[in-house]
Chain A
Amino acid sequence: MKSMSIRKIKNLIRSNFILIVIFLIIIITGIIESNYLSFNNLLNVLRQVSVIGIVACGMTYCLIGGAYDLSVGSIVSLTGVITILTINAGVSEFIAILYGLLAGLGIGITNGILISSINGRSGEAFIITYGMQVVAASIALFPSNGLFIAGRVPEGFFKFLGQGVMPIVIFLSIAIILQFILSNTQYGRQMCFIGSNMDVARLSGVRVKLNRVTYFAISGLLSAIAGIVLCSRVTSSNPTAGTGFEMDAIAAVVVGGTSMSGGSGNVIRTVVGAVAIGIMSNALNILGITAYHQQILKGLLIIAAVAMDILNKTIKNREMEHEKAYTG
């Protein structure tokens, strides 16, 4: 009886490792720096993670569906350049936003079609989206001539998107909608099916190609939204602003507990992963830890999260085998 409850506690700790880490960081930093626990700082953290969080939500769909999308960072950069340049040219901000969204959606659909047309697995998706990352990054540099572009943005809808709690509202709304689709629709169930075994899914009559195109389309569209929110926040665009976002997004997804081998995952847990990384970065900044040490700790958190995920799976499998042997 006693060993059962110890096992339960251990399981609880293992499966909520990230939440426990976040809680400890908040408590310790809050004791050292009282400003850390202020409401404004909480909003700061959520605002800071909202851009990468939006990208990570799209990446979650791709990873559950069994593929990586490495083009997301370049889409963020390209969308920003397109939107700011269009606004600076005096075109309506709604049209500018539409151009940005269409660019992201177009790249996402292209990724999806290319990968689906060759029945590409995660390896092919990795290379193809990497190729698209280079293409999109080059296109972003072309109109901006490599320069960071200060936006001549009037007060209005575009500026509103990056102000106050709007980035947080956009991020959380997207996460809730995506999680609802994932857990409550046939489309969501098919995503897990495709991610865990594409061939069996195809034989079962699932429209694998079409579904996979949609994962990349969603990822591209969400990266475009993230790019627009980012530009709105700093009212400028930098053609290399999204560099490295793909890895940060994958880190958020994995820290959140989505399986890197596909087939299972959760968008809300991705939100937790993104917030965990954000809370840690914010705490380290506030504690005055140098940038070099911050990177080490960030890396260690990601490694610990992956290790914990693997440990959980191994223990679960062992328990299932044990139960089978016991009942059989």
Chain B
Amino acid sequence: MRTKKTLVLLLVLILTVSLISGCANQQKGDAPSAGSASSEDTPGGAKRIFMSSAYYTAPYGAPLQEAVQDKAKELGYEITIVDGEANADKQLSQFKTAVADGYDALIYWPGDQASTPPIVEYLNSTGLPWVALNTVVDDSVIDKVPCMIASDEVEIGRNVGRLMIEYFEKNPSDTKNVAYIEGSPGSSYTENLTKGMNEVIKGSGINILNEPQYAEYDPSKAMTIMEDLLTKFGDQIDLVVAQDGGMFQGAFSAIEAAEYVGKFGIICQGQDLIVKEKLLSGDLYASVAQDPYTEGSLSVEMLDKMIKGEEVEHWVVNPTGPIYADDVDNYSWF
């Protein structure tokens, strides 16, 4: 009797979870269910696009996915977006289910560069049009990707490095000490940004004060790291660099609480609203652009061309560059 009750309760819980997850976002799901309608069965025969998003819940993911949905709707496609949880195995099985389910085109947002080869090989074997989005695939399969829409991550890092040099040219000091807060350990995005930055600042006399500190794109973790960096280095810091807007927000809260605002410069990357606000207030020296909306929109545009048999560029680069307080109006903010 007791076991029966437990089973019933667990079943109710599972159903509730599924229901709420489903309601929470119609596009989010584990994978499309087998046997659902193909494009011929859908109303009006609209073609169906399937997207596996590695970073569904990341701050950058929301505007990007919104752009994918908007552009798909505009071009008359049905779109399903699922959470790949940055797990290559999961993403591969999601694609296999989608193919079995009769989807007409695929969008692949990889979680990490290194894990892309088997998925790229599989997607090519399906014969369906597909594009890779946001994360540059591994070098070994880069030529096999029909179309890739991504920022040059290393170039974003180079832009950060150029801004650091520019900051010290405009604000000369005896030392060029930088406190640097990174994203996630092992993430190719994080590593590429750091790689690009290091390329540019090499030989410039800029000194990164701390060992790698990863805030995992979480404002509260960035705040803790910044507090500790202020304790250790305090007045030695000339510039703080954060790899995204969320981590900038956390670091800034720590800087504000310790009454260090204005005592050194801050640079970050991203187009979050808080970044715009702090650029305008003068608390942030500059940011580096990476527009998720443009990127998402381009992915569907390119896929549309491929479906229609038109030629597409192999790598459509999402433009990046510095943003200063003077030109915030030229960019979208999220």
Whether chain B is bound by chain A comes out as: yes
The answer to whether B232 touches A285, judged by C-beta atoms less than 8 angstroms apart, is yes
Residues of A within 8 A of B24 (CB): 138-139, 141-142
A138 and B56 alpha carbons, distance in the complex (Å):
12
CB contact under 8 A between A41 and B220, given known A114-B9, A145-B66, A238-B246: no
Interface size on A, residues (CB 8 A): 50
Residues of A within 8 A of B63 (CB): 147
The answer to whether A239 touches B57, judged by C-beta atoms less than 8 angstroms apart, is yes
Residues of A within 8 A of B140 (CB): none
A48, A118, A240: the one contacting B6 at CB < 8 Å is A118
- CB-CB nearest in chain B for A290: B211
Residues of A within 8 A of B218 (CB): 238, 240-241
The answer to whether B272 touches A233, judged by C-beta atoms less than 8 angstroms apart, is no
Shortest Cβ distance from residue B85 to the other chain A in the assembled complex, whole angstroms = 12
Known interface pairs A134-B17, A138-B17; 4 further A-B residue pairs with C-beta atoms within 8 A, sorted by A's residue number: A127-B13, A146-B61, A148-B59, A236-B249
Residues of B within 8 A of A20 (CB): none
The reply on B234 being an interface residue by CB < 8 A is: yes
Enumerate 14 A-B pairs (CB-CB under 8 Å) in ascending A order: A35-B232, A44-B228, A118-B6, A127-B13, A131-B14, A132-B13, A134-B17, A141-B24, A146-B57, A147-B62, A148-B59, A148-B272, A150-B272, A234-B253
CB contact under 8 A between A150 and B59, given known A118-B9, A234-B253: no
Kindly supply a per-residue 1/0 record for chain A positions 25-46, scoring 1 wherever the CB is within 8 Å of any chain B CB and 0 otherwise.
0000000010110101100100
Per DSSP, are chain B's interface residues mostly helix, strand or loop, or mixed? helix
- CB-CB nearest in chain A for B23: A142
A41, A146, A235: the one contacting B62 at CB < 8 Å is A146
The answer to whether B257 touches A163, judged by C-beta atoms less than 8 angstroms apart, is yes
CB contact under 8 A between A44 and B232, given known A147-B62, A234-B250: no
The answer to whether A234 touches B20, judged by C-beta atoms less than 8 angstroms apart, is no
The reply on B327 being an interface residue by CB < 8 A is: no
The answer to whether B334 touches A147, judged by C-beta atoms less than 8 angstroms apart, is yes
Residues of B within 8 A of A117 (CB): 9
Residues of B within 8 A of A120 (CB): 6
Shortest Cβ distance from residue A175 to the other chain B in the assembled complex, whole angstroms = 20
The answer to whether A235 touches B6, judged by C-beta atoms less than 8 angstroms apart, is no
The answer to whether B231 touches A44, judged by C-beta atoms less than 8 angstroms apart, is yes
The answer to whether B231 touches A36, judged by C-beta atoms less than 8 angstroms apart, is yes
The reply on B274 being an interface residue by CB < 8 A is: yes
The reply on A303 being an interface residue by CB < 8 A is: no
Residues of B within 8 A of A47 (CB): 227
A292 and B6 alpha carbons, distance in the complex (Å):
40
Residues of A within 8 A of B219 (CB): 148, 234, 236, 238, 241
Residues of A within 8 A of B224 (CB): 48, 281
- CB-CB nearest in chain A for B219: A234
Shortest Cβ distance from residue A121 to the other chain B in the assembled complex, whole angstroms = 10
The answer to whether A124 touches B6, judged by C-beta atoms less than 8 angstroms apart, is yes
Kindly supply a per-residue 1/0 record for chain A positions 122-143, scoring 1 wherever the CB is within 8 Å of any chain B CB and 0 otherwise.
0010011001101100110110
The answer to whether A291 touches B212, judged by C-beta atoms less than 8 angstroms apart, is yes
A139 and B25 alpha carbons, distance in the complex (Å):
10
**Contact residues of A between 90 and 119, Cβ < 8 Å to B:** 114, 117-119
Kindly supply a per-residue 1/0 record for chain A positions 278-301, scoring 1 wherever the CB is within 8 Å of any chain B CB and 0 otherwise.
000110011011111000000000
